[in-house]
């Protein structure tokens, strides 16, 4: 009986056990990364540091929109039927980004900022947390120490990669164009000096 074999097997087994549990959320969100940056939701891949707004047709009737082959179905399967989605993948390694929201005039909306390394939401912009007035937010990566421009609220990300998921409430189909117009006004731009 060779104990070294038991030790090797046991060590590898326990290490894999812990690593898989630790990395499970990251592996899960890799599907979302691929959906965004590689497959896209019908209009081709969504470039890094840009926002994709769920089209009105896809929200109005997801069953009657045919997506091109190879598209991700993340915007049409298992989604909610209450809000338009605005999604994007940020890379802050080349500098922070300014995230602008328009005046939502009391309409419910939320924007979650998710750390893709562990699937936790480190910040929110939206009716619950910041109100519905127009606002500019500076999203900075770890270690960024320069001064924040005036009239801009800073959001510090623990990771250079960030998933942004915005949700803009749609009351009904009549309200859809208004909601879409507001959702489209959520924008990302680089911080210019």
Partner 1 sequence: MSRTYTYFAALIGVICVAFIIYMLFFAHTRTVRSDVVQGVLIGFGMAFVTAQAYARLKATKVNGWITMFGLGVPGNGMLLRAAHAQLFPGPVNVPQEAMYWWTHSDGASHTLSGQHDYIMHFPAGQLPPNDAFWSLTMGDARNHYVPNPIHRYSVGDHSGLAQNPDGSVDIYIQRIAPAGHESNWLPAPVGEFILWLRVYIPGQAILDGEYKVPPVDKVR
* Residues found near partner 1 in the complex (CB under 8 A): 1-2, 5-6, 8-22, 24-25, 28-29, 32, 61-64, 77-78, 80-82, 108, 110, 112, 114-116, 118-122, 124, 126-128, 163, 165, 169, 171-172
Rounded-to-integer distance, Cα 26 and Cα 104, Å: 33
User: How does strand 135-140 pair with strand 153-156?
Assistant: parallel
Residue 152 Cβ vs partner 1, minimum distance, rounded to whole Å: 23
User: 54 is written with which tokens?
Assistant: 């769920």
| 28 vs 38, beta carbon nearer partner 1 | 28
Residue 133 Cβ vs partner 1, minimum distance, rounded to whole Å: 17
Residue 32 Cβ vs partner 1, minimum distance, rounded to whole Å: 6
| 73 vs 191, beta carbon nearer partner 1 | 73
| 78 vs 147, beta carbon nearer partner 1 | 78
Side-chain-side CA neighbours of residue 159 (13 Å): 18
Query: Which residues 6+ apart lie within 8 Å of 101 measured at CB?
Result: 109, 111, 125, 134, 135, 137, 185, 186
Residue closest to 184 by CA, chosen among 115, 108, 105, 102: 102
Rounded-to-integer distance, Cα 1 and Cα 43, Å: 61
Residue 168 Cβ vs partner 1, minimum distance, rounded to whole Å: 12
| 121 vs 190, beta carbon nearer partner 1 | 121
């Amino acid at each position: 009986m060779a104990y070294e074999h038991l030790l090797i097997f046991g060590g590898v087994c326990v290490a894999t056990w812990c690593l898989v549990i630790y990395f499970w959320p990251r592996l899960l969100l890799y599907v979302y990364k691929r959906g965004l940056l590689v497959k896209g939701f019908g209009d081709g891949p969504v470039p890094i540091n840009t926002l994709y707004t769920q089209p009105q047709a896809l929200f109005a009737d997801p069953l009657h929109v045919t997506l091109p082959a190879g598209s991700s179905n993340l915007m049409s399967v298992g989604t909610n039927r209450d809000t338009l989605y605005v999604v994007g993948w940020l890379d802050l390694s080349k500098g922070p980004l300014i995230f602008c929201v328009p005046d939502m005039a009391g309409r419910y909306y939320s924007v979650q900022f998710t750390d893709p390394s562990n699937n936790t939401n480190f910040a929110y912009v939206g009716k619950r947390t910041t109100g519905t007035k127009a606002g500019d937010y500076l999203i900075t990566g770890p270690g960024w120490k320069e001064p924040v421009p005036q009239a801009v609220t800073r959001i510090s990300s623990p990771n250079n990669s960030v998933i942004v998921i915005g949700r803009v409430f749609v009351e009904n189909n009549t309200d859809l164009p208004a909601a879409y117009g507001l959702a489209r006004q959520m924008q990302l731009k680089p911080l210019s000096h």
